């Protein structure tokens, strides 16, 4: 009896032991589940972050398409209700109605008969090279853009426009909007003569629009446009690298073959897929950042974007290896910071971005249009990059930059009438290695090898 | 008797504790199943969004690859970017049906395969604004081709359709209305080409142009495939009195 009466708790104890034992697994499961849930939250946050970058790119591009064709009200609608637009040194215009009128007056449209443009008016304002930094809270952001304008009036004038915009954005009720655009006009140069013929401004240089349509507030700081070299303030001057960061490389762990393990493995796969898309945006930003530094002769800042053993190769000038030598190679373009009258615009466009399956490296084809000025001579250039990048503990760097020159051409006569050959390797600042590919630029044509197969057929390029 | 009472009491206790144990175990299993389902559904939703991000990059790659192939007149590689039943309409030339006709348009209309020294035809792809549709297998994109050629300048819009077949994005429709073409010497102040038209050069199109319009110095706006990203409003019609009605769809 005594034995039997003990048998009950023993039996029960045994059973409870089993339960406890299984809830020992359950406890482990619970902590795994908790970890998985917090990873899912992190994936959600990172997804929203990368989406924000793409949505801000979309805003800037939509702005360009509206202004191109005189949809100035639509363009102003991309701003917050109390959004502001700072135009050059003119000053600041506040609120959608004022921004609409500002854009209409500059673009040559009609406030009464909008949208549209009158016969003969050209107002193409291409919005290029976005460098987007989303704040840690996910509700505010900054971006730097390049505006390349083709402006004018038929039979009257053709004008090149060049400007940098530094924008602030806010997310209101889940929608990204432009809060502030600081539009740093660099030049509006008559087609005849181009930017190289521009004379320095003396004193203040308000636009004709500002004289008839005064701003609501003065510009916070005056500056002089080209041919003076002015660097519009960078929103990333505080050293934040968030825009060129993504997830550091990680090994995908092996997960147990249970129902929780299957979900863990799925989260792993999604983390990696997301990390690669995040990297796509970080690399776009990196190339844009590089371009903005090159524009202004900031060789040191540009060279710092390379990995320690990164290489730089331009045309037939040879290969420079390591940050210090890359900087020397870049300095072949001119003195640090450039001199008055030197224009060094390298427009970074048309990326074909392939991040490796493991998110450790990337290859990208880019294109650059080049607008130069040296000693009063204007020059056009065009070329293709085949670059390589490395994910250095979560920060993307150039491991190899290779610019193939398609053409150089004299501004006055054009590339067809007066192509200019490439420079040979420098003898004063010699490269570490000779050019990896020997070729001639226009009028010769060279197919720059593609790092990718045809994205649809999957076939390698057979030259046809 | 006592013995059997005790036994039955013991049995009851055992049953009770057994039942209790079962209850605890099953309750635990139920909540964990629900948790797993919730996590799975979160991952599904996020997976779709991450896939959209990848799609955005992939459709842009197709458009950008197109531009690099044009640069070097690699028409076969270019035609391979199109779905078999894709269409192409550039400028005012009319519509070409199917991949083979896309290839013919390029080789007959634009020149023999491969780069020709002395002839620059750079078709730079700028400012692409892609939209991946809810179905995940169709997309649209607005882009610019900024042309720097031996002849001078060109500015073209694209409003293209893409389709995802067997996991691969392709052109379904390439539509490239012109904005401005001009010579080099004076730029767009003069010497502009207002459009191409069907009979201007062979090959002849399969269908007439979907739209007749004149480009710069006249005004034409290719409709936006997307609503205003902030207000959500569709594109308003351009006003004829602002110059904005050089077309009728």
Task: Check if the beta carbon of residue B127 is closer than 8 Å to that of residue B49.
Answer: no
Please answer yes or no on whether B186 and A191 come within 8 Å at the CB atom. yes
Structure confidence at residue A390 as a pLDDT band (50, 70, 90): very high
pLDDT of res. B12: 61
CATH number for the domain formed by residue range(s) B6-242: 3.10.450.50
Q: Which residues of B touch A121 (CB under 8 A)?
A: 219, 243
Residue from the list B7, B25, B81 with its beta carbon closest to the beta carbon of A456: B81
Long-range contacts from A432-439, C-beta under 8 angstroms, 24+ separation: A432/A318, A432/A319, A432/A320, A432/A321, A432/A325, A433/A318, A433/A319, A433/A321, A434/A318, A434/A319, A435/A313, A435/A315, A435/A316, A435/A317, A435/A318, A435/A319, A436/A313, A436/A319, A436/A402, A437/A404, A438/A316, A439/A316, A439/A404
> Could you tell me if A124 lies within 8 Å of chain B, comparing CB atoms?
yes
The A residues from 5 to 64 touching B (CB cutoff 8 Å) are 5, 7-8, 11-12, 15-16, 19, 22-23, 26, 29-30, 33, 36-37, 40, 43-44, 47, 50-51, 54-55, 58-59, 61-62, 64
How many Å apart are CA A144 and CA A234, to the nearest integer? 8
**Mean pLDDT of the A388-417 span:** 98
Please answer yes or no on whether B53 and A50 come within 8 Å at the CB atom. yes
**Domain residues of chain A, as ranges?**
48-212, 261-419
Residue from the list A44, A116, A459 with its beta carbon closest to the beta carbon of B238: A116
Residue from the list A29, A122, A384 with its beta carbon closest to the beta carbon of B180: A122
pLDDT of res. A28: 85
Query: One fold for both A48-212 and A261-419?
Result: yes
pLDDT digits (tens, 9 = 90+) for A221-256: 999 999 999 999 999 998 889 999 999 999 999 999
- Look up residue A249 and give its two tokens: 């490389």
> Could you tell me if A461 lies within 8 Å of chain B, comparing CB atoms?
yes
Structure confidence at residue A22 as a pLDDT band (50, 70, 90): very low
Residue from the list B82, B142, B182 with its beta carbon closest to the beta carbon of A65: B142
pLDDT digits (tens, 9 = 90+) for A259-304: 999 999 999 999 999 999 999 999 999 999 999 999 999 999 999 9
Q: Which residues of B touch A23 (CB under 8 A)?
A: 24-25, 28
Residue from the list A19, A280, A351 with its beta carbon closest to the beta carbon of B24: A19
Q: Which residues of A touch B28 (CB under 8 A)?
A: 23, 26
**Total CB pairs under 8 A between chain A and B:** 311
* CATH 3.10.450.50 for domain A48-212: yes
pLDDT digits (tens, 9 = 90+) for A170-211: 999 999 999 999 999 999 999 999 999 999 999 999 999 999
Searching chain A, which residue's CA lies closest to the CA of residue B185?
A: A413
Q: Name the minimum distance, in Å, from the CA of B8 to any CA of chain A.
A: 11
Give me the architecture of the A261-419 domain, per CATH: Roll (3.10)
pLDDT of res. B2: 52
Q: Which residues of A touch B115 (CB under 8 A)?
A: 445-447
> Could you tell me if B48 lies within 8 Å of chain A, comparing CB atoms?
no
Please answer yes or no on whether B58 and A455 come within 8 Å at the CB atom. yes
Low-confidence ranges of chain B (pLDDT < 70): 1-31, 243-249
> Could you tell me if B242 lies within 8 Å of chain A, comparing CB atoms?
yes
> Could you tell me if A455 lies within 8 Å of chain B, comparing CB atoms?
yes
**Domain residues of chain B, as ranges?**
6-242
How many Å apart are CA B143 and CA B157, to the nearest integer? 6
For residues A126-137, one letter each, b for 16 or more C-beta atoms within 10 angstroms of the residue's C-beta and e for the rest, the string is bbbbbbbbbbee
Q: With a cut of 70, say whether residue A133 has pLDDT above it.
A: yes
> Could you tell me if B247 lies within 8 Å of chain A, comparing CB atoms?
no
The burial of A445, by beta-carbon neighbours within 10 Å (0-12 exposed, 13-18 middle, 19 or more buried), is given as buried
Please answer yes or no on whether B77 and A384 come within 8 Å at the CB atom. no
CB atoms within 10 A of CB B132: 22
Please answer yes or no on whether B124 and A114 come within 8 Å at the CB atom. no
- Alpha helical stretches, state H, B72-89: 75-79
**Helix and strand element counts for chain B (H, E):** 3, 7
pLDDT of res. B237: 86
pLDDT digits (tens, 9 = 90+) for A352-385: 999 999 999 999 999 999 999 999 999 999 999 9
Residue from the list B71, B169, B242 with its beta carbon closest to the beta carbon of A115: B242
Please answer yes or no on whether B229 and A1 come within 8 Å at the CB atom. no
Q: What does pLDDT average to over chain B?
A: 89
> Could you tell me if B19 lies within 8 Å of chain A, comparing CB atoms?
no
pLDDT of res. A463: 87
> pTM here?
0.92
Residue A443: φ, ψ to 5°: -80, -5
């Amino acid at each position: 009896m005594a034995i039997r009466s003990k048998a009950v708790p023993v039996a029960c104890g045994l059973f409870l032991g089993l339960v406890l034992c299984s809830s020992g697994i359950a406890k482990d499961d619970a902590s795994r589940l908790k970890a998985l849930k917090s990873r899912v939250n992190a994936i959600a946050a990172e997804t929203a972050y990368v989406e924000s970058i793409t949505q801000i790119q979309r805003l800037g591009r939509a702005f360009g398409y509206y202004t191109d064709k005189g949809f100035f009200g639509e363009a102003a609608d991309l701003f917050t209700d109390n959004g502001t637009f700072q135009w050059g040194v003119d000053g600041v215009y506040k609120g959608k109605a004022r921004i609409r009128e500002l854009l209409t007056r500059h673009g040559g449209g009609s406030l009464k008969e909008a949208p549209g443009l009158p016969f003969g008016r050209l107002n193409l304002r291409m919005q290029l090279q976005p460098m987007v930094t989303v704040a840690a809270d996910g509700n505010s952001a900054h971006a730097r853009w390049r505006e390349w304008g083709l402006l004018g009036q038929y039979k009257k004038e053709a004008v090149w426009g060049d400007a940098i915009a530094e924008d602030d954005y806010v997310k209101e009720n889940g929608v990204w909007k432009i809060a502030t655009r600081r539009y740093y006009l660099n030049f509006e140069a008559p087609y005849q003569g181009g930017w190289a013929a521009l004379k320095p401004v003396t004193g203040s240089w308000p636009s004709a629009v500002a004289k008839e349509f005064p701003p609501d507030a003065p510009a916070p700081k005056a500056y002089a446009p080209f041919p003076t070299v002015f660097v519009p303030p960078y929103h990333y001057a505080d050293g934040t690298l968030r825009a060129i960061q993504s997830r550091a490389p990680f090994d995908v762990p092996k997960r147990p073959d249970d129902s929780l393990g299957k979900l863990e493995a799925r989260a792993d796969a999604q983390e990696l897929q997301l990390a690669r898309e995040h990297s796509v945006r970080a690399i776009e930003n990196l190339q844009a950042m590089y371009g903005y530094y090159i524009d202004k002769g900031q060789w040191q800042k540009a060279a710092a974007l390379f990995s320690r053993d990164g290489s730089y190769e331009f045309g037939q000038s040879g290969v420079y290896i390591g940050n210090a030598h890359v900087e020397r190679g870049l300095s072949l373009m001119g003195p640090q910071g450039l001199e008055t009258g030197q224009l060094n615009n390298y427009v970074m466009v048309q990326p074909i971005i392939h991040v490796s399956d493991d998110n450790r490296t990337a290859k990208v084809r880019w294109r650059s249009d080049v607008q130069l000025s040296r000693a009063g001579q204007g020059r056009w250039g065009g070329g293709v990059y085949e670059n390589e990048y490395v994910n250095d503990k979560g920060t993307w760097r150039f491991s190899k930059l290779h610019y193939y020159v398609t053409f150089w051409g004299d501004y006055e006569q054009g590339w067809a009438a007066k192509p200019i050959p490439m420079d040979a390797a420098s003898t004063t600042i010699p490269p570490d290695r000779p050019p990896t590919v020997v070729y001639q630029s226009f009028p010769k044509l060279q197919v720059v090898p593609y790092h990718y197969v045809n994205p649809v057929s999957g076939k390698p390029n057979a030259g046809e | 008797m006592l013995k059997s009472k005790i036994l039955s009491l013991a049995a009851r206790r055992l049953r009770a504790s057994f039942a209790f144990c079962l209850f605890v175990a099953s309750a635990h299993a139920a909540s964990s199943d629900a948790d797993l389902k919730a996590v799975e559904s979160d991952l599904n939703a996020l997976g779709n969004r991450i896939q959209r991000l990848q799609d955005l990059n992939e459709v842009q790659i197709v458009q950008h690859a197109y531009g690099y192939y044009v640069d070097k007149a690699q028409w076969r590689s270019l035609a391979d970017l199109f779905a078999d039943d894709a269409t192409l309409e550039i400028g005012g030339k009319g519509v070409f049906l199917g991949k083979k006709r896309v290839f013919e348009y390029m080789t007959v209309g634009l020149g023999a395969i491969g780069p020709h020294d002395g002839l620059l035809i750079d078709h730079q792809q700028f400012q692409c604004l892609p939209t991946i549709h809810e179905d995940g297998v169709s997309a649209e994109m607005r882009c610019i081709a900024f042309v720097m050629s031996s002849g001078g300048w060109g500015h073209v819009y694209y409003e293209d359709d893409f389709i995802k077949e067997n996991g691969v994005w392709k052109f379904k429709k390439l539509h490239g209305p012109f904005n401005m073409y001009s010579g080099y010497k004076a730029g767009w102040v003069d010497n502009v080409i207002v459009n191409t038209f069907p009979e201007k050069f062979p090959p002849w199109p399969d269908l007439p142009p979907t739209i007749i319009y004149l480009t710069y110095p006249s005004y034409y706006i290719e409709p936006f495939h997307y609503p205003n990203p902030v207000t959500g409003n569709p594109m308003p019609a351009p006003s004829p009195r602002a110059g904005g009605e050089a077309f009728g769809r």
